[in-house]
Chain A
Amino acid sequence: MNKKDKRAPAPPVALWGVGDWGVRTLDRLPTVFEETVKKVALNSDLQSLVLSSTPVKITAGEKSLSGSGTGGDRVRGEKAFAECRAAVRKELSGSGIVIVAAGLGGGIGSGAAPPLCRLAAELGLPVLALLTRPFEFEGKKRAANSREAVEALTAAGVSYLSFSLDRMLGRIEESAPCDRAFEYCDRLLDASLAAVISYLTVSPPLGGDQARLRNVFAPEGESVAITVQCDHPDKILASVKSAVTQLGLNPAELKSARGALLCVRAARLPTIAQLRPALDVLSRILGEQSELLFTVRQSSEPEDRIRVDLVIGGAEARAGRAPSVPLVFETGSLPPRQGKLPIGQEYRGAFSDTNPTLVDGEDLDIPTFIREGLNTG
C-alpha cells in the first residue's frame, strides 16, 4: 500500500461557498452532511470569513483588497480570485465533485465563481454550480454583473442551476415581513443544495449518478425550487402536487424543463408505494426528454416531519414574469399552503380511532370543509 492509500479518503463532495451569500450558505448546511461534504469558503470580505464556521477559508484579494469587499465590482472580484488561485488549486486537488454556491450580482460571487468553475474543470473535476440571480430592485449594475457571470459560466460549459430571487419572492405574500421573505428564499436555496448533495452522496439507485444529475443542471434557462413538509409518508404525493402548484410554472414550462430532482428527507424512509405515485405525477408533467431523479435520505428530524424538496432545472420561464396559466392540481387534494395552520388529527372526530382513509396521500377522514378552507366561524 502506498502513502496515498493511507490517507483518509476525500469526502465525495466539495462545496464551495463564494461571496457573502455563498459563505452563509455553507454555515446553514445541515450537520447531517458534515461527513460527506468538504466545505470551503471563498470571499474577499474578511469579516464574513471570520464570522463563518467553515473550517477551510480562502481570502480572495488579500493583497489588493486587504480583507475588504470588492464594492460590487465584478472585475475586481475576478482579479481578487487570480491572487488566490494557487490556494484554490491546492484545496481543489483531490476533491470529489465540486459544487459552487454563489450569489450572483456582487463582485466576488459574479467575478470569482466563473474562474473557480473553470479551474476545477481544468483539474478534471466534475463541477456543478448553484447560483442565485439578484432581485430586480437591487439595481441594474448587479443585474449586469449577474448576466455577465452567467454568460461566462455558459461559455465555460459549466452545468448550473440558476435561481431567480424575484421569482422566489413572488411566491410570498407581499404583507410578509422583509426578514421572513428573505429567509424564505434562503430556505429554498438550502433545500435545493441539500437535495443535490443528498443525491450525490446516496448510493445508487437512489442517487450517485453524476451524469444524470448534470442533465438536470442546465446550461441555460431558469431553475426553480420548492420545499414542503408533510407529517406522514402517505402524504408525499399530495406534497409533491402542492409543490408543483406553488412553483407556478405552466405546463409548457414544465415540459421544457431539463429535469427534476425530488428529495425526500425523513426519519423513516418511505416505501416504494408511498413514493411511486409522486414520481408518476412528476413523470406525467415533465417532457419526454426531461430527466427525473429522486433520492431519499434519513434525517434526524421527528417522525412526523417529512421534508419534500423539489428542484426543477432549466425551465423556460423568465425571471419575474408570472406564467399565464400555471399548472394547478386540484386544491381539494392538497395540503395547506405555507402560512396556513397545518391540519391536525383532532378534526378526525368520529374516525380518530380508525386508520386514515387515504386517497392520493390525503386523509379523507378529516372534514372536507376544513381541507377546503371553508370558514365555519
Chain B
Amino acid sequence: MSDESQFIAALDVGTTKICVLAAELDPEGELRILGIGNHPSRGLKKGEMVNLELAVDSIRKATEAAEKTCGRPIDSVFTGIAGSHVQSYNGRAAVPVAKPQAGIDRKDIVAAVKAAQKITLPAEARVLHVIPQDFAVDDRDGIINPLGLVGARLEARVHVVTVRWGPFDNILRAIRQAGLRVEDVSLQPLAASQAVLKKEEQQSGAVVVDIGGGTTDYVVFHGEAVRCTRSLPLGGDHVTNDVAVGMKILLHQAEEIKKKYGCSISGRIDPEDQFSSPAFGGRASSRLSRYLLSQIIELRMSEIFQIINRELDREGFYRHMASGMVLTGGASLLAGCCPLAGEIFPMPVRQGRPWDVEGVDGLDDAPVYSTAVGLLKMARSHRLYSSSREDTSGGLKKYLRGVKGWLNRNL
C-alpha cells in the first residue's frame, strides 16, 4: 500500500441515470468522496445499450459534472454491469492437496477454485466473477479459510458470474469513447450489496434487491458467501410505462407523478383522492385518481416481487435468510415499496442505504447511489490487492484476478 492517497472514480451506468463518484483512498484504506456527477442516461434500455452515441454523451456529461465538483480530471473508472444477459451458476470441484503434510497453501486453493469454475460456456459468454463460497477439507465441510489446514483433499465451492460479450463490450466501448479507461468491471448488484449490507448480515443470510430503472437485480448471501445472483429486465421504467399507458399521459409526466403521488400499496390511498396532472405543451392539467395510480404501481411492483419470491422459494433460500431482505436502488424509494415487499416475502424487509461513506452530505441516505458507492468499495479492494500484489506468487492468469482478490481480502 502506497503512503500517499490515491484517487479513484466509480462509474455507474444505469438505464435512467449515469453517476460518477470520485473519491480519495487514504493510506489507511479509508474512502472519502470528493465529487459527484449525475446525468440522465440516454441510449440504454433494460440495462443494455440501444444507442451508443447517446450513451457516450451521457457518460461524458456525468464525468464532466464529477470533475467539476472534485476539481480534478477523471481518466479512469471502475464500472459495473447488469442486465438479463448476466448469468450465474454455482460450481464445485475437489483437488488433491500438493503437500498434505505441510498443509494447504494458496496454490492449492487457487487450483481448487479454478477446477470448480470449469464449465462449458456458450461461445458468446465470458466469466466476470469467480467468487469462492466455502471449502471442504477431506470430510470437513463449510470451511471459509482452509489456508494452512492439513488434509489430502480440498474441495472448493464457487459462484461464477458470466456476461455476454455483446452487451459487455458495448458498455466498455461507450466508456472508452467517452475518454475514460476502464480499470475493472463488477456486477452492479454485487457492488450495491457492498454498499448496503453489513458483514454480519452477509454471514447470517440476506438478500439484496436492487431495483433500478431498467433492471431488478438480486444477490443472496449466506455464510459471508454469494449464493445466487440474478437480474430481471424489469424495473422502475416499467412502472413509469404502466403509469403512462394507464393514465394516458406522457412518459416524463408519468415519471414525475409516480415519484410525487405514487404508492405501492393502493390500500393506503383514499379512493377519492385526486391530484392535478402536470400541464405539458398544449395539454391542460387534469384531475387524476391517486388511487388508480397506486393500483397500477402496486400491480407492477407486486409482479416483480412475486417473480423474485418464486425464485427464492424454489431455490430453498428462505431457510438461510435470518437478516431478511434489503431493498435498494432508485425504484425502491417509491412510497410503500418496503411494506409491500414485507407482505410478499416471508422475512423482514428494510431499505438499504450506503453506509460508511464520508465526504459528501446526503449520500449515505440515498439508495440511488448504492451501486456507485459499492463500486468505489470494490475499487478500494482492487487497489489494496494491487498494491500488495508483489507479495503473491506470480504467473496468475488474468481471469483468476477475482479469486486472488477474494483470497487477499479473506485469507
Given known pairs A349-B244, A350-B240, A376-B247, the reply for A369 and B50 (CB within 8 Å) is no
Cβ of A357 < 8 Å from any Cβ of B? yes
Q: Please tell me if the beta carbons of B233 and A367 are within 8 angstroms of each other in the complex.
A: no
Residues of A within 8 A of B238 (CB): 351, 364-365, 367
Residue A359 is within 8 A (CB to CB) of chain B in the complex: yes
Contact across chains for B303 and A374 when beta carbons are under 8 A apart: no
Interface stretch (choices B293-301, B376-384, B403-411): B293-301
Counting CB contacts under 8 A, is B64 at the interface?
no
Closest residue to A330 on the B side, CB-wise?
Answer: B306
Smallest CB gap from A352: residue in B? B241
Chain B CB within 10 A, most for which of A348, A349, A353: A349
- Which residues of chain A come closer than 8 Å to B295, judged between CB atoms? 369, 374
In order of increasing CB-CB distance, the 8 nearest A-B pairs are A367-B242, A368-B299, A376-B246, A350-B241, A368-B300, A349-B241, A357-B233, A368-B303
Contact call B303/A332, Cβ cutoff below 8 A: yes
> Does any Cβ of A come within 8 Å of B45's Cβ?
yes
Which chain A positions have C-beta within 8 A of B247?
Answer: 376
Of A347, A354, A359, which one neighbours B46 at CB under 8 angstroms? Answer: A354
Given known A-B contacts A350-B251, A351-B45, A353-B50, A367 and B234 have beta carbons under 8 A apart: no
Q: Which residues of B contact A357 (CB under 8 A)?
A: 46, 84, 233-234
Contact B245 A370 (CB under 8 A): yes
A367 in contact with B240 (CB, 8 Å):
no
Interface assignment of A372: CB less than 8 Å from any CB of chain B: yes
Asked whether A367 lies within 8 Å of B307 as measured between CB atoms, the reply is: no
Asked if B244 contacts A374 (CB within 8 A), the reply is: no
Contact among A354, A367, A376 with B50 in the assembled complex (CB-CB below 8 Å): A354
Besides the known contacts A350-B244, A353-B50, A370-B246, 5 further A-B residue pairs in the complex with CB atoms under 8 A apart: A348-B241, A350-B251, A364-B234, A368-B303, A370-B245
Which single residue of chain A is at the shortest CB-CB distance from B233?
A357
B300 touches A359 (CB 8 A): no
For the complex, is B210 an interface residue (Cβ under 8 Å from A)? no
- Residue count of chain B within 8 Å CB distance of chain A: 25
Q: Mark A29-52, 1 if CB is under 8 A from B, else 0.
A: 000000000000000000000000
Q: Which of B45, B300, B306 contacts A354 (CB under 8 A)? A: B45
A-B contact pairs, 27 of them (CB 8 A): A332-B303, A332-B306, A347-B245, A350-B45, A350-B237, A350-B240, A350-B251, A351-B46, A354-B46, A354-B50, A357-B46, A357-B84, A357-B233, A359-B307, A364-B234, A364-B238, A367-B238, A367-B246, A367-B296, A367-B300, A368-B242, A368-B299, A369-B242, A370-B246, A376-B247, A376-B292, A376-B296
Binding site for A on B (CB under 8 A): 45-46, 50, 84, 233-234, 237-238, 240-242, 244-247, 251, 292, 295-296, 299-300, 302-303, 306-307
Asked, given contacts A332-B306, A357-B233, A359-B307, whether A367 binds B46 with beta carbons under 8 Å apart, the answer is: no
A374 partner, pick from B46, B234, B237, B299, beta carbons under 8 A: B299
Question: Binding site of B, secondary structure by majority: helix, strand, loop or mixed?
Answer: helix
- For residue B147, give the distance in angstroms from its CB to the closest CB of chain A: 43
Q: CA separation between A374 and B303, bound complex, in Å?
A: 14
A349 to B252, CA, bound (A): 13
Q: By the criterion CB–CB under 8 Å, are A351 and B241 in contact?
A: yes
Known: A354-B46, A354-B50. A374 touches B241 (CB 8 A): no
A24 to B368, CA, bound (A): 66
Question: Which residues does A use to contact B, with CB under 8 Å?
Answer: 332, 347-351, 353-354, 357, 359, 364-365, 367-370, 372, 374, 376-377
Residues of B within 8 Å of A350, CB to CB, are 45, 237, 240-241, 244, 251
A365 to B244, CA, bound (A): 13
Bound Cα distance A119, B71 (Å): 97
- Docked pose: A338 CA to B125 CA in angstroms: 42
Residues of B close to A364: CB separation below 8 A: 234, 238, 303
Query: What CA separation (Å) do A332 and B298 show in the bound complex?
Result: 13
Q: A369 and B244: CB pair below 8 A?
A: no
Q: Is the CB of A367 within 8 A of B245?
A: yes
Q: How far is the CB of A63 from chain B (nearest CB, A)?
A: 67
A368 to B304, CA, bound (A): 10
In the complex, residue of chain A having the shortest beta-carbon distance to the beta carbon of B246: A376
For the complex, give the distance between the alpha carbons of A204 and B251 in Å.
Answer: 52
Please name all residues of chain A whose beta carbon is closer than 8 Å to the beta carbon of B300 when the two chains form the complex: 367-369
User: Nearest-CB distance from B343 to chain A (Å)?
Assistant: 16
Q: How far is the CA of A374 from the CA of B302 in the complex (A)?
A: 14
Most buried by B among A359, A365, A376: A376
Residues of A within 8 Å of B303, CB to CB, are 332, 364, 368
Residues of B within 8 A of A332 (CB): 303, 306
CA distance A321 to B237 in the complex (A): 47
- A370-B303 Cα distance, complex, nearest whole Å: 13
User: B2: shortest Cβ distance to chain A, in Å?
Assistant: 45
Tell me the complex Cα distance, A368–B264, Å: 13
User: Which B residues touch A368, using CB under 8 A?
Assistant: 242, 296, 299-300, 302-303
Bound form: Cα–Cα A368–B233 in Å: 14
CB neighbours (8 Å) of B50 from chain A are 353-354
> Chain B's nearest CB lies how many Å from the CB of A238?
14
Chain B residues within an 8 Å CB radius of A354: 45-46, 50
